[in-house]
Amino acid sequence: MPAFDSKDLFDPKFLQSLSRLHLRAKRVAAGGRHAEQRSRDMGAGIEFKDFRPYTPGDDFRAIDWTIYQRLGRVFLRLFEEQEDLPVYLMPDISRSLFLETPPRARSGLRTALALASIALNQHDSVGVFPFSDQMQILLRPQAGSGRIMRFAKALAGLEMGKHTNLTLSLRKLDSLRLRPGLLVLISDFFEPGGLDTALEQLGRMRHKLLLVQLLRPSDRDPALQGDYELVDCETGQAASVSITPTIRDRYRKAYGAFEEQLTGFARKRGAGLLQMDVEQEILPQLSGLFETGSYVV
Whole-number pLDDT of residue 42: 41
Whole-number pLDDT of residue 17: 74
Specify whether 133 is located in the same domain as 253: yes
Specify whether 41 is located in the same domain as 113: no
Q: Please indicate, yes or no, if residue 132 is contained in any of the structural domains.
A: yes
Q: Identify the three-state secondary structure at position 294.
A: strand
Q: Please indicate, yes or no, if residue 214 is contained in any of the structural domains.
A: yes
Looking at residue 150, which CATH number applies to its domain?
A: 3.40.50.410
Look up the domain containing 52 and give its range.
37-83
Q: Please indicate, yes or no, if residue 187 is contained in any of the structural domains.
A: yes
Q: Are 23 and 114 in contact (CB under 8 A)?
A: no
Q: Please indicate, yes or no, if residue 232 is contained in any of the structural domains.
A: yes
Whole-number pLDDT of residue 151: 92
Whole-number pLDDT of residue 18: 67
Q: Please indicate, yes or no, if residue 1 is contained in any of the structural domains.
A: no
Whole-number pLDDT of residue 189: 96
Q: Identify the three-state secondary structure at position 258.
A: helix
Specify whether 79 is located in the same domain as 219: no
Overall domain count for the chain: 2
Helices (H) and strands (E) in the chain, counts: 9, 13
Whole-number pLDDT of residue 122: 77
Per-residue pLDDT tens digits of the chain, which is 297 residues long: 776 766 666 677 776 776 666 654 443 344 444 344 444 444 444 444 566 676 666 655 566 666 666 776 766 666 555 556 799 999 999 999 998 888 999 999 999 998 998 888 877 899 999 999 999 999 999 988 788 889 989 999 999 999 999 999 999 999 999 999 999 999 999 988 889 999 999 999 999 999 999 999 999 988 888 888 878 777 778 888 888 889 899 999 999 999 999 999 999 998 888 899 999 988 888 876 665 444 445
Would you give the DSSP letter of residue 204? T
* Closest by Cα among 2, 14, 190, 36 to 111: 14
